[in-house]
Structure 1
């Protein structure tokens, strides 16, 4: 009888363990992703010189709902724009950076739950216009579609990535300050964290991060599974100490921010390519392991690089240095890290994060989009993938918009969600 009871208890325990393992490793068993890839629903937001500007852009960054499987948040950047003189034409100047909350419904289709427009601390809608000097300015001048100079926005954001916190709030990173901004569930700004020397709040990022290049700020942001630390990726090599003197074109930085204490760390990331390549979104596997996007600006069918790497920061060196107010950051033999070769960095005892290829989207999916910018790890070695469609327009070379066409299909580029298996 004792042996029978013991056997029954062991069997029950083993069954419970297996059920628990299934719930951990198969996070997607109740979600129907079979109808992906699938485009987001869009309408025309404006027509400029006969060119339709869609209400797109959703996919600059992405995050999973913290508790509900199959639900996601995707965010736009600062809005539809083209290059013009010493800045940008903002084709819809009053555009507000927006979060779209969506789900995969029972039929396997994308369904929009709601849109959350970002607001300043007073609850007024912000724009994507640049910040003024002293509050995160990149030096870019804003123009309207006709080339008239626009103003600035103290709370303007070139949003690029998003974190959905357990308490319903959001953390958003951008390319101006670079800022990390904490928003309420309704999109109202609660706190703005910027580099030392940028006048937006009391809690600070290392001063050197203000050396980001225009339009190459904090492109990725995620939160560790324990909910304690934000992890942000700078898009490309920064101009430290200056544009003409920064030479290590494959070096970029990862910064961590302890939410409770405000303490920061910095780690180095070695890109495969050079100054034209980008490290984009980041998503957590554990408190020390992450997946990051590395891409160039070409379309997938035109030799574009669209890869995801698994990185580990546990063996990497913290390069914050002893003084995070130093505008050029830690130096080696009088040179900034961006001036130093990887050999010089290694000789000084500093190690970058380790990285291994998780998936090549071009070879795996025949991925066509150019701006592969959002990822969410779903568990069970599945990854949700999102693109920034640039609101369906690109620059015609003269500061005016033209339709953004995918060269392989001949269709206008639109925000699309994929799910792909990774190594």
Structure 2
């Protein structure tokens, strides 16, 4: 019965994708962008207002209604503290915002969808317990008291809006890919082999992602068949001490029908501190991906989008996806090899060419450039994660997050930019 339902879903997806050309977004009035999203106050911590924002960790277009989009938050407002994070609003639920660009060209919120566990109860962004996707991070409240865990918790980072109305969401814990209903109720949780969630699995090696550097991007191919996820940075394979290739990260594909996976290597321009963030499809084998650093655009930050192709790239899944360190060459994990060694072994990463440099093109000021949606005709919608308007003051407490050039509070903003 499950296979039959999946087959029906794919046929629906294919029909919808055939009818919907992303270029139909071009008659929407984007002339009033960039625009900030509307916000209320979520909490006040130590006299600092935390905004009810965070929308822009990932983004997706509505699969059939032009000018409508979905953006998603991460796990919620937090600051660094000891061996984990202070959660400034511990009961915060990762949330999807559905909005449209209305006839006047303004952002108009349609609804908010809170993510829920299989029983329909709102989840939190608290870390997963051991064996369920734990990164080893400890959660604290704003006063430094230890909080619990949430086996359905999610540090959501990217979103796919499927033609049947459901959502696929990737995260930085497990890393997990979670399938949610249109109402945000969990239907399936796909995690690396060895993580005790669900029956369909990702390669075991992906569990060696770094804390807060999990599956940062996720998209679906236009044929509706395959999910494509990007790991944010170099993984610690086999260990932090032994992983030396700081510009190597991985792309994983998951066949929605068969559950089969593939992996490809991606060569970052920067080092281990830089990020490969969201991904959006422009074809079944061609995509756009974000590369960024952690600096503000006006302070020399790198905010670029690359066109990549899987065609000709080597599948490095290996013969045993249960192997904890994944495929090896020279009796070493891929992360232990230099690019010269990888090339000598006949392994090719995905090809990439620059599509746009946002700092050069727009004078883009935000630090966390994290969401993209391809609109067709070489136009790209761009979103940022505003961190709920707060950052760490260096002592584990929040302070207002401001843009250095303007002094304004950083808020989630939508841009549209032409790309090469």
Asked whether the two chains share a fold, i.e. TM above 0.5, the reply is yes
Tell whether 2:29 aligns with 1:36.
Answer: no
**Could you list the per-position Cα deviations for residues 70-115 of structure 1 after superposition, in whole angstroms to 9, with x for gaps in the alignment?**
0000000000000000000000000000000000000000000000
Displacement of 1:314 in angstroms is 1.0
Contact 2:26 2:376 survives alignment (8 Å): no
CA contact (8 A) 1:252 1:270 kept: yes
Asked if 1:253 is matched to 2:224, the reply is: no
Give CA-to-partner distance per residue, 1:176-212, whole Å, 9 cap, x none.
0000000000000000000000000100000000000
Please, which of 111, 115, 119 is the counterpart of residue 118 of structure 1?
A: 115
Question: Does the aligned pair in 2 maintain the 1:27–1:380 contact within 8 Å?
Answer: no
Query: Helix, strand or coil: the match of 2:27?
Result: coil
For residues 209-254 of structure 1, the C-alpha deviation after alignment (integer angstroms, 9 at most, x for no partner) is 0000000000000000000000000000000000111010000000
Counterpart position of 1:73: 70
* Aligned partners of 1:371 and 1:387 also within 8 Å: yes
2:48 aligned residue (38, 41, 51) = 51
- Cα distance in structure 1, aligned partners of 2:58 and 2:338: 31
Deviation at 1:30, TM superposition (A): 2.5
For 1:116 and 1:24, locate their aligned partners in 2 and report how far apart those are by CA, in whole Å: 26
Alpha-carbon deviations, 1:401-420, whole Å to 9, x = none? Answer: 00001000000000000000
- Report what 2:158 is aligned to: 161
Deviations 1:306-354 (A, max 9, x none): 0000000011000000000000001111110001000100111100000
Measured after TM superposition, the shift of residue 26 of structure 1 is 4.3
Residue in structure 2 matched with residue 316 of structure 1 by the alignment:
313
C-alpha contact 2:26 2:375 (8 A) present in aligned 1: no
Residue matched to 1:299: 296
Render the CA deviation track for 1:268-290: whole Å, top value 9, x for unaligned: 00000001100000000000000
Equivalent in the alignment of 1:106: 103
Is residue 237 of structure 2 the alignment partner of residue 240 of structure 1? Answer: yes
- 1:145 corresponds in structure 2 to 142
CA distance in 2, matches of 1:124, 1:24: 36
CA distance in 2, matches of 1:80, 1:295: 21
Matching of residues 14-33 of structure 1 within 5 Å: 26-33=23-30
In structure 2, C-alpha distance between the alignment counterparts of 1:119 and 1:26, rounded to whole Å: 33
Q: SS at the partner of 1:394?
A: strand
Q: CA RMSD in A?
A: 0.8
Quote how far apart the aligned CAs of 1:28 are.
2.9
1:347 partnered with 2:335: no
Cα 1:185–1:26, aligned 2, differ >3 Å: closer, same or farther? closer
Q: CA separation of 1:202/1:26 partners in 2, compared to 1, >3 Å: closer, same or farther?
A: closer
Q: Which residue of 2 aligns with 1:198?
A: 195
Contact persistence 2:267–2:349 (CA under 8 A): yes
Displacement after TM superposition at 1:25 (Å): 7.8
The match for 1:361 among 333, 353, 358 is 358
Maintained 8 Å contact 2:22/2:374: no
Deviation at 1:46, TM superposition (A): 0.3
In 2, the alpha carbon distance for the partners of 1:163 and 1:25 equals 15
Aligned residue among 365, 371, 374 for 2:371: 374
Paired residue for 1:402? 399
Q: Distance in 1 between matches of 2:142 and 2:51?
A: 16
Aligned counterparts of 2:48 and 2:334: Cα–Cα separation in 1: 44
Q: Distance in 2 between matches of 1:293 and 1:315?
A: 21
SS at match of 1:27: helix
Q: 1:147 to 1:206 in 2, by over 3 A?
A: same
Give the match's secondary structure for 2:25.
coil
Counterpart contact for 1:79–1:96, Cα < 8 Å: yes
1:262 paired with 2:262, answer no
Match of 1:226 among 212, 216, 223: 223
- Partner of 2:119, secondary structure, is coil
Runs of 4+ in 1 over 3 A off after TM superposition: 23-26
Distance 2:32 2:322 in 1: 50
User: In the superposition, relative to structure 1, how do residues 184 and 25 fare at CA in structure 2: closer, same or farther (>3 Å)?
Assistant: closer
Q: Name the CA shift for 1:346/1:40 in 2 (closer, same or farther; >3 Å).
A: same
Unpaired runs of at least 5, structure 2: 1-19
* Selected match of 1:64 from 61, 65, 77: 61
Measure, in 1, the Cα distance between the counterparts of 2:312 and 2:179: 29
**Runs of 5+ unmatched residues, structure 1:** 1-22
From 188, 211, 217, the counterpart of 2:185? 188
